Structure 1
C-alpha cells in the first residue's frame, strides 16, 4: 500500500547536482494521505478532506494531494472548490492531464463553458487513452456548438471503445451536422448494431438517408419513427417532404392531412396540405382547403400570399391575379401587395404584368432592396438580360456593401457573354476582401466553366476550400476544374463528395456524370444524369447527354 500511495504523490524533479532527496518529502504527509484514502473507502468524505488538508500543510510541493482534493470535492458536488484545488495542483505541475481535466470539468459545471475548453483540450491531448477526458471535452464542445470538435471527440471515444453505442450515435449526429453524410451513415450503422433500440435511431437514420439521396429508405425510417412517436411533427414533416420529392403525392397528402388534424392552427401545415391536395389529383379538395385558409386567417398577409401562390401554381392564375390586384387597389401605398401580384403573374408566365408591378414597387420604395432584386430576377426569367444587368448594376451602386448583388451582376453578365465584365465585378470584391471565399470560388468556377486560366482557377478554388473545406459548392468547382484539366481521378473524388454534401444538387450530378462518361463508366454516368433530371426535368442539355449514352 505504501508503494501505491507513494506513486500517487508526485514530487518535482531534483537537479542532478543536488544532494539526494528522500522518495517523499514528509512521512507525516504520507500518513495523512493514506488515512484520507482509507476514510474515503469507509465513506467518510468529511474526515478524508480534513486529512488531505493536513497533508497539504505538511507537503506543499505535491500536486497529487490537491488533485485528489479536487476529485473528492467534485464528487460531493462542489465545483468551486474542485476548481480551486485543481488550480493548486496545476501551479505545481501545469501539464498534469488529470488536474487539467478536473479544472475543465469544474468550469463546465460552473457554467463557464468557454473557459473550460482550453483545459479540457489540454487534458485530452495530454492523455489520449482516457475516454472520460474525450467525453467531457465532447460535452463542452456540444454546449458551445463546436460541431467539428464534437465529431473529433466522439471519433476518438469510438476508437478507444468500439462497443460504445452512444459514442457511435453521437458521432453520426455530428458528422451529419457537418454534411458528412457517408461518414454519418457508417457511424449510425455501427451504433444500431450495438443498440438497435436506441431512442431516436429511426429519425436520425431517415435524416442521413434523405441527405444521401436514398429517399425510399428515408421514408421507411421516418415511418418506423412515427410508429413509435406518432405525435412527432418534425418527423412527419420530413416524411411529407421525402414523399413529395419522390412524386408520391397521394401518400404525402395523406400524411399532411394527419399533421393538419394534429396541428389545425399551424398555418404552414395547412398550406402544405392544400398544396398537396392539388398535387395528389384532388383539386376540389384543394380549393376547399384554400377556402378554409381564407376563413381561418382572413387578415394574415402570409396566409393570403400562400393561398394566391398555390392557386397560381395549380391552374387558377386568373383568380389569383384578380385577388392580388384587388389587394393592390386596397393598399396603394404598400409595396408588399405589388410584390405578391408580381409573383402571381410570374407564376403564370405573364412577365409584362409582373414587371409592371415590380417597377411600381421600386418607385414606391426606392431605398428598399427587395423590389429591385425581384425586378432583376424577373427580367432574367423573362430573358431580358440587358435590362436585368442594368437593374443589378443600379442596385449594386445603391447598396455597395451587399456583395450578393455583385455576384448576381456577375452571373447576369456571364449569361450575356460578357466574361470580362463578370470577372471585373468579382475582382471588385476581391480588391476589398482578398480572402472572401465566395468571390474566390465564383471567379475560379467562372474560369473553369469557360475553360480559361485553369491553373489559376484551381488555386482560387483551393483558397476558398481552405476557408470552408466542407462546402459542397466549392467542392463542385474543384471537381470541375480538375475535369477541365483532364485530372479525372481527382475530379471524380471531389465531385462524389460534392454530390453527398449538396444532397444531390442537379448541376453537381451533371458534372459527375460527365466525369464518369469520360472514364467510360457509362452506367454510373447514366445514373447521375437521371438523378439530375429528377431534380430538374426541364434541362435539355442533361437530357441530350443521357440520350447519347443509350
Structure 2
C-alpha cells in the first residue's frame, strides 16, 4: 500500500538504471572514437553512423548475430538527455529521449521519460502520439496510461480519460490517484453517486490523503450526509491546515448542523488567513445578525452554496502540494494540465518561480510575458518581469517595462528609483541622473536617493553636485557610513580639506570597522596628507577584508613607491594591471588606467636597475 500522496515506487526502476549505466560506461569507450560527439555536443541530430561502435553494432545486426549490447546511439542520446535534464533544459531532454526510443524501442522506461517530458513541456499532442505508440508495445504501463488520462481530462475528453483511469485501476486497484481523478471527472459530469463511490474507494486506499478526504467530504455534503462530510473535511484540514477550501466547506457543514459557535470559529480562522474574503465576511455577518447561537439546524439550507459550488481544479490542488514539498518537476506536470483547461495567473507565477529557482530565467520570463498578456496593467507583473530581464542582463527590456510602470503611477518614487538603477545598468548615466532627481523630488526624505544621485554625479564628473547630495544624505542619516566614506574619498581625490575627509572616514569606520573599502579610503587620505607609513598600515588592513581589487592594489603600489620600496610597488601594480585587464564584467565604478599602470611598473623597474 502506498504511504505517501501519489508516490511512485521507483525501486525496480533504480535497479534497471544501475545495470543500464554499467553498460553505458562500456560503450563510452567506443563512442570516444566518434568525431561528431566533439563537433556537436548538444545536437539531437548528430550523425554517429561513422563511429566504430555504431558500425560494429550494425554489422552484428545485419549478420543476425547475438546482440550483447544496445545501439550505442541510444547511450549517446541518453547521456545528453541526462545533461539537459540536469540543466533544466527540458525541451532538449525530450528531443534526446525521442532519439533514445528510436534507437532502443524496447526500453520501456525511456518511453515513460519521453512522454512525461512532453507533458512537462506542454507538448500535449506529441505526448498523446508518443504515449499511444508506447502503449502498443507496453499495454500495462500505468504511468503512461496516467499521463494520457490526465491529458484527455484536461482537454475535456472525460470519457476517454475515464477509460484510461479504469485501465489503471484494473491493473492496480490501490492506485489512489486514478480513483481520485476518476471521481473528479464523474463529479464534473454530475454523476454524483458514482463520484462518491470512487472517492470512498480512494479513501480506503489512502486514508491520510487530504485531497481525497476533501473531495469525499464535498461528495458527502452534496448527498446531505452531514456527519460523514464533517468527518472527512475535519481529517482534510487536520492533515493540511492551509487547505482553505476544505475549511470553507467544514464551516458550511457546521452551519448546516446549527453549530453556529463552531462555524464562527472556522470562519474566524479563514478571515485571519484571507481578511478580504467577502464570502466569509457575509457568512459571519449573517450568523451574528441571526441573533441565535443554538444547536437547531435550519431546514432551508442548500446542499452546497453557490460560492462553493464550482469544483476546485484538482490538478491545481495537486500542483500546489508538490510545489510546497519542493517536488518542482512534478508540480510543472500538474501546472501544464491546469493551463490546458484554463489559462489564468497563478500557474504562470508558480511555474516562473520554479524556472527561476533552477536558473532558467528565459523560461521564467516566458511565463511572465504570458502574464502580461493576461493582465497588461498589472504593476506587480511589470516589475517582476523587469527584474527578470535585469537578472538576464537585458537592461533595455527592463527600462521599457519600468517606463510602462511609471506611466501607470507617475508619482511613485520607488518606480522612478528602479528605473534610474536600470539606466545605470545600461551606463545611461545622464538619464539615470534625471530619473533619480525626479525620485528625490517626490520623496526628499529618502537618504539613499541622495547617496545614489551623488554617486551618479561623481561618476559623470560633477563633484560639486556629488558633494551636495552626499551631505544631504548624511544630514538625513548621520549614520550613513557609505556617504561618509564617499564624501571623504572625494575630498581626498580633490586634494583639499583632508582633515574633514579624515573625520568622515573615521565616522564611517566607527559604524563599519572592518569595511575594506573604507580602510582603503582612510589609507588614501593619509597618503594625500604625506603620512605614507600610516597609509600603508590601513591599506594592508584593507587587503584582509576585501576581495582582490585593482584600485586597492594601485593605491598600495603608490604608497610603497613613496616609501621607496620599488620592488613591492611594482608587484602591487602588476596585480592591479592583471585585475584590470581581466575584469569580466563592468565594475560600474572607478578603475585604474592600464597604460598608466604599465608606465608606473616601467618607472619602478628603471629605479630598481639604477639602485644596483
Give TM-score scaled by structure 2 length: 0.42
Q: TM-score, normalised by structure 1?
A: 0.46
Q: Look at both structures and tell me which one has the larger radius of gyration over its CA atoms.
A: 2
